Amino acid sequence: MISELALDPGFGSAIGRGVGAIALYAVVGLVLMVVGFYAIDWTTPGKLSTLVRSGAPNAVIVTSAGLVSMALIVVVAIYSSAGKLDEGLLSALIFGFVGIVVQVLAVRLLEWVTRLDIGSLIESDRFAPASVVVASAHVALGLVVAVAIS
């Protein structure tokens, strides 16, 4: 007995469009994540990438939380951009950039309010519990910004 696989006539083109959309959204997401990393690096005292490579534990914790928070913003910006592909990509890019700016400003404000010396904190070779507070602020504010986008 031979059975045939019956696919709708437009199946192949739908798959092609879907794969193309995934690739384009991945590029937009990657660009936003890179911009987000540099925004965190630029606004945080010390050179985060150097501190992370050298294994400074507090820099690793703060940078990781910053990247997770940026990813939350980017994911929600992409998820919220329903509609045509071009409109979706553009709105994801715009909301993503605005979200990154708001995230960076909010975290810096929270650090100022808590009076933490972030520069010496992230440069320390020893774990400092205050780095968990800064990391939590990154993630919490990333969630707030992400929900505001949706």
Q: Domain total for the chain?
A: 1
> HEC string of 45-102?
CCCHHHHHHHCCHHHHHHHHHHHHHHHHHHHHHHHCCCCCHHHHHHHHHHHHHHHHHH
Average pLDDT rounded to a whole number, residues 27-56: 86
Q: What is the pLDDT of residue 57?
A: 96
Is position 20 within any domain?
no
Task: State the pLDDT confidence band at 128, using cuts at 50, 70 and 90.
Answer: very high
Is position 5 within any domain?
no
Is position 125 within any domain?
yes
Structure tokens at 56: 């400074």
Is position 13 within any domain?
no
Query: Over the stretch 3-35, which tens digit does the pLDDT of each residue have?
Result: 667 778 888 888 888 899 889 989 988 998 889
Q: Which domain holds residue 36?
A: 25-149
Is position 58 within any domain?
yes
Is position 105 within any domain?
yes
Query: Over the stretch 102-118, which tens digit does the pLDDT of each residue have?
Result: 878 877 787 788 888 88
Q: What is the pLDDT of residue 4?
A: 66
